[in-house]
């Protein structure tokens, strides 16, 4: 499946349908932020006078404009990797595979790792904040809010292995209703105190910051909650295209958010009590319970989108060589994005439920929320600056001026959120650090293995001459050897011939090459060369959003002039056992030991590539790194 290019014109019916679909995937997180953001900020300010309320609402509105509308919709979404967006796709686009750019890699990888922290907190805070509306309907239900939250979260993660393709069709329309309801509630609130519309003037936000001292700076950490989820506009660009996402944002999501935040501010100015969840104060009492149900469904959809995004990013990281091979199940043939990664799912479940039980209230969780997302946005800004220089070829002054604005905004939010480090902000950072460690160790390990295996290369013509001279037996059939050595004899083949003193009549030396682009067309997949009689060197190229399938690849090769019978193939796979180097020049022992553990617990290459088990010959070998 190749996504639509961001520059490709969209027909109106297609764009509208994609925009509705984007509501359920792209905007779930940012769309449920009004449930807790304004209340959190108001609690931080400690007051509800006109100066404070107008200042806070102005900050919320202009944060949405600067971060989401300008930075992501206006700039980031114009830089796509063949239609794909997100921090890993951007990192790949900047050529980290072709050049040694360790600082750029560190920025991109840690930004990606931080998204897992967001993925753990979003379901907990969203579902908790939605169900806390029960405290308004019936205060006696307060003891049941946390148990209900845990039950919903358990159910959410438990259904992931079944796939969400059928349920997903309803996500967009449900979120359409959600945003319309938010807009109507906001309009009703504004009628209670129309003066709130003065908050559209950025002066009120700046005036509040300048005259609130250190308290105003700390409030930025709460204000930032209104744009958690903005990164999804860029990350999910490949699913819907930039056009439909921008259309949904500009025509519905942004106006609904502005109206709802303004409505919440207006009712507070009108004297509505601020205890409990202010969002539900917008609603007439007799409609509160239906709104709670709709809110809960919306937060489940937002959580689903975050979980799906974590699965998708994991697959990208695996294919780009930054994460161990994990078992990936395709839960539906209707969409490439419908996948399930069990390790990620159950890890997120444990952390998410642990957060809900540990913090117990959405207000408490707000202290842990924001650091991961603001750090990711800060790192995206760094990559955007490099993209402006290297991809758009903008001069240093223009690139620096624009990126500096984004950097100052992002750095301000990040610094403010860091003040919440010991109030729970350490949780997403610890999770991100653990993910980053796995990525770092895995990549160092596989790079070291590749270097060791490439030592003392044997040219193919020298190998053929040697087996001819030593009269190595040639047995019937076709052998397939996976190798990283495109120009030389596969090490696995050398070891096999050395110990068996035989080789098949026909040999395919296959190299799987993952490109820095998300998709490689089938017509561009294969490079085939017969380097010796009945000895073919084959390079198969895949994008980082595509999963190699070895039997399918063999069928494709058979149509390109290789006389092979796919049902008679024998696949020779090297099974490395990692041991430390004795000369002291290898990796640090802790990296070697941890990589060895990761390698032993990663999915077997044959399973990952769907190779039939009865056609596989495993060749064990020790590799000292």
- Secondary structure E strands in 163-312: none
User: What is the Cα–Cα distance from 90 to 83, expressed in whole angstroms?
Assistant: 11
Boundary residue ending a domain (368, 389, 419): 419
Query: Percent helix, strand and coil across the chain, each rounded to 5?
Result: 65, 10, 25
Classify residue 535 by its DSSP letter.
Answer: E
Tell me which residue of 41, 57, 68, 39 sits closest to 198, measured CA to CA.
57
Tell whether 331 and 461 lie within a shared domain: no
Looking at residue 337, its pLDDT comes to: 64
Looking at residue 543, its pLDDT comes to: 87
In contact, 328 and 343? CB cutoff 8 Å: no
Is the pLDDT score of 581 beyond 90? no
Q: pLDDT digits over 206-256, tens only?
A: 999 988 878 888 899 889 999 988 888 888 887 788 888 999 999 999 999
Q: pLDDT digits over 523-574, tens only?
A: 889 999 888 888 999 999 998 888 888 999 998 898 887 888 877 889 998 8
The dihedrals phi and psi of 475, each to the nearest 5 degrees, come to: -100, 155
User: What is the Cα–Cα distance from 83 to 521, expressed in whole angstroms?
Assistant: 14
Give the confidence band of 99 by pLDDT, cuts at 50, 70, 90.
low
CB atoms under 10 Å from CB of 204, counted, come to 22
The two structure tokens encoding residue 415: 């610094």
506 or 420, greater pLDDT: 506
In a domain, 448, yes or no: no
CA-based R_g, the chain, Å: 27
Tell whether 131 and 35 lie within a shared domain: yes
> Burial letters for 484-508: b for 16+ Cβ neighbours within 10 Å, e otherwise?
bbeebbbbbbbebbeeeeebbebbb
Greatest distance between any 2 Cα atoms in the chain: 96
Average pLDDT on 151-159 reads 92
Is the pLDDT score of 121 beyond 60? yes
Tell whether 409 and 537 lie within a shared domain: no
Tell whether 384 and 518 lie within a shared domain: no
Which residues, at least 6 apart from 415, have a Cβ–Cβ distance to it below 8 Å? 217
The dihedrals phi and psi of 361, each to the nearest 5 degrees, come to: -135, 150
Tell whether 398 and 492 lie within a shared domain: no
- pTM score of the predicted model: 0.83
User: What is the Cα–Cα distance from 53 to 547, expressed in whole angstroms?
Assistant: 51
In a domain, 549, yes or no: yes
User: What is the Cα–Cα distance from 599 to 591, expressed in whole angstroms?
Assistant: 12
User: What is the Cα–Cα distance from 33 to 302, expressed in whole angstroms?
Assistant: 10
The two structure tokens encoding residue 1: 């499946």
Tell whether 385 and 486 lie within a shared domain: no
Average pLDDT on 306-325 reads 86
Q: pLDDT digits over 470-481, tens only?
A: 888 988 889 999
Tell whether 242 and 369 lie within a shared domain: yes
Q: pLDDT digits over 342-359, tens only?
A: 999 999 999 999 989 988
| Spacing of C-alpha 171 from chain mean position | 19
The two structure tokens encoding residue 365: 């969780």
Tell whether 483 and 573 lie within a shared domain: yes
Give the confidence band of 449 by pLDDT, cuts at 50, 70, 90.
confident
User: What is the Cα–Cα distance from 581 to 163, expressed in whole angstroms?
Assistant: 45
- To the nearest 10°, report the CA torsion of 583, 585, 586, 590: 100
CATH code, 121: 1.20.1740.10
Is the pLDDT score of 335 beyond 90? no
User: What is the Cα–Cα distance from 174 to 264, expressed in whole angstroms?
Assistant: 22
Looking at residue 104, its pLDDT comes to: 79
Tell whether 394 and 542 lie within a shared domain: no
Looking at residue 224, its pLDDT comes to: 92
Domain that residue 565 falls in: 457-624
Angstrom CA distances, 248 to 66, 230, 255, stand at 17, 13, 10
Q: pLDDT digits over 300-315, tens only?
A: 988 888 888 888 888 8
Three-state helix/strand/coil letters over 501-527: CEEEEEEEEEEEEECCCCCCCHHHCEE
Out of 57-66, 73-82, 337-346, 385-394, the most confident range is 57-66
481 or 8, greater pLDDT: 481
The two structure tokens encoding residue 12: 């109106």
User: What is the Cα–Cα distance from 105 to 204, expressed in whole angstroms?
Assistant: 40
Looking at residue 336, its pLDDT comes to: 61
Is the pLDDT score of 98 beyond 60? no
The dihedrals phi and psi of 54, each to the nearest 5 degrees, come to: -60, -40
In a domain, 435, yes or no: no
Give the confidence band of 83 by pLDDT, cuts at 50, 70, 90.
confident
Q: What percent of the chain has pLDDT over 90?
A: 35
| Spacing of C-alpha 207 from chain mean position | 37
Tell whether 328 and 467 lie within a shared domain: no
In a domain, 443, yes or no: no
Average pLDDT on 306-330 reads 86
Average pLDDT on 490-501 reads 88
Looking at residue 568, its pLDDT comes to: 83
Is the pLDDT score of 317 beyond 90? no
- Residue 260 backbone zone (phi > 0: left; psi -120 to 50: alpha; other: beta): alpha
Boundary residue ending a domain (364, 389, 419): 419
Tell whether 401 and 481 lie within a shared domain: no
Is the pLDDT score of 576 beyond 60? yes
Looking at residue 365, its pLDDT comes to: 82
Is the pLDDT score of 1 beyond 70? no
Helices (H) and strands (E) in the chain, counts: 27, 8
In a domain, 451, yes or no: no
The two structure tokens encoding residue 183: 């807009």
Average pLDDT on 126-154 reads 88
CB atoms under 10 Å from CB of 441, counted, come to 21
Looking at residue 613, its pLDDT comes to: 83
- Residue 527 backbone zone (phi > 0: left; psi -120 to 50: alpha; other: beta): beta
Q: pLDDT digits over 160-213, tens only?
A: 888 766 666 778 899 999 999 999 999 999 999 999 999 999 999 999 998 887
**481 SS3 class:** strand
In a domain, 430, yes or no: no
In a domain, 439, yes or no: no
Tell whether 380 and 520 lie within a shared domain: no
User: What is the Cα–Cα distance from 158 to 93, expressed in whole angstroms?
Assistant: 35
Q: What percent of the chain has pLDDT over 70?
A: 95
Average pLDDT on 67-94 reads 87
Average pLDDT on 594-616 reads 88
Looking at residue 180, its pLDDT comes to: 97
Looking at residue 5, its pLDDT comes to: 36
In contact, 272 and 47? CB cutoff 8 Å: no
User: What is the Cα–Cα distance from 336 to 340, expressed in whole angstroms?
Assistant: 11
Q: pLDDT digits over 391-405, tens only?
A: 899 999 999 999 999
In a domain, 450, yes or no: no
Q: Look at the chain and report how many structural domains it folds into.
A: 2
Angstrom CA distances, 236 to 94, 187, 315, 359, 545, stand at 19, 30, 14, 30, 13
Looking at residue 432, its pLDDT comes to: 87
Classify residue 617 by its DSSP letter.
Answer: E
Which residues, at least 6 apart from 536, have a Cβ–Cβ distance to it below 8 Å? 506, 507, 508, 509, 528, 529, 530, 562
How do beta strands 339-341 and 328-330 pair? Answer: antiparallel
């Amino acid at each position: 499946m190749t996504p639509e290019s961001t520059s490709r014109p969209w027909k109106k019916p297609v764009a509208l349908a994609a925009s509705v679909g984007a509501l359920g995937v792209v905007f779930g997180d940012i769309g449920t932020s009004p449930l807790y953001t304004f209340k959190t900020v108001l609690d931080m300010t400690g007051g509800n006078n006109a100066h404070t309320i107008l200042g806070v609402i102005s900050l919320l509105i202009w944060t949405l404009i600067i971060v989401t509308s300008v930075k992501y919709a206006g700039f980031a979404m114009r830089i796509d990797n063949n239609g794909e967006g997100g921090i890993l796709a951007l990192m790949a686009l900047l050529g980290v595979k072709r050049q040694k750019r360790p600082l750029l890699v560190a920025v991109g990888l840690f930004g990606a790792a931080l998204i897992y922290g967001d993925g753990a907190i979003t379901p907990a805070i969203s579902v908790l904040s939605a169900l806390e509306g029960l405290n308004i309907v019936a205060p006696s239900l307060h003891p049941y809010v946390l148990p209900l939250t845990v039950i919903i979260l358990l159910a959410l993660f438990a259904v992931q292995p079944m796939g969400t393709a059928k349920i997903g069709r309803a996500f967009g329309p449900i979120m359409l209703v959600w945003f319309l309801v938010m807009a109507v509630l906001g309009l009703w609130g504004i009628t209670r105190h129309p003066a709130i519309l003065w908050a559209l003037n950025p002066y009120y936000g700046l005036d509040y910051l300048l005259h609130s001292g250190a308290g105003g700076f700390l409030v930025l950490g709460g204000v930032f909650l209104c744009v958690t989820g903005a990164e999804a506009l860029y990350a999910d660009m490949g699913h819907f295209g930039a056009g439909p996402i921008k259309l949904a944002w500009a025509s519905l999501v942004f106006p609904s958010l502005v109206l709802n935040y303004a409505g919440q501010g207006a009712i507070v100015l009108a004297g509505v009590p601020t205890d409990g969840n202010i969002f539900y104060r917008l609603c007439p009492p007799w409609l509160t319970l239906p709104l709670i149900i709709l809110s809960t469904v919306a937060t489940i959809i937002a959580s689903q989108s975050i979980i799906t995004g974590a699965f998708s990013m994991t697959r990208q990281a695996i294919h780009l060589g930054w994460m161990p091979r994990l078992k990936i199940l395709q839960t539906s043939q209707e969409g490439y994005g419908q996948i399930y990664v069990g390790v990620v799912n159950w890890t997120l479940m444990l952390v998410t439920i642990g957060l809900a039980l540990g913090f117990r209230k959405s207000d408490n969780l707000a202290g842990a929320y924001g650091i991961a997302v603001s750090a990711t946005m800060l790192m995206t800004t760094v990559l955007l600056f490099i993209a402006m220089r290297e991809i758009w070829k903008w001069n240093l002054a223009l690139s620096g001026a624009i990126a500096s604005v984004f950097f100052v905004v992002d750095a301000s939010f990040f610094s403010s959120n860091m003040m919440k480090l010991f109030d729970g902000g350490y949780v997403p950072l610890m999770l991100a650090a653990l993910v980053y460690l796995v990525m770092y160790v895995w990549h160092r390990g596989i790079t070291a293995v590749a270097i060791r295996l490439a030592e003392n290369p044997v040219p193919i013509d020298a190998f053929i001459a040697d087996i001819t001279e030593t009269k190595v037996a040639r047995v019937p059939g076709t052998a397939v050897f996976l190798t990283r050595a495109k120009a030389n004899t596969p090490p696995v083949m050398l070891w096999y011939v050395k110990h068996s003193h035989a080789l098949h009549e026909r040999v395919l030396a296959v190299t799987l090459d993952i490109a820095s682009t998300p998709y490689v067309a089938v017509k561009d997949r294969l490079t085939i060369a017969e380097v010796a009689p009945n000895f073919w060197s084959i390079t198969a190229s895949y994008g980082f959003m595509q999963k190699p399938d070895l039997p399918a690849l063999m069928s494709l090769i058979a149509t390109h002039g290789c006389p092979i019978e796919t049902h008679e193939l024998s696949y020779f796979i090297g099974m490395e056992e990692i041991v430390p180097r004795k000369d002291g020049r290898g990796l640090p022992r802790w990296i070697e030991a941890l990589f060895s553990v990761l390698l032993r617990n990663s999915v077997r290459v044959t399973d990952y590539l769907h190779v039939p088990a009865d056609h596989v010959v495993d060749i064990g070998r020790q590799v000292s790194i």
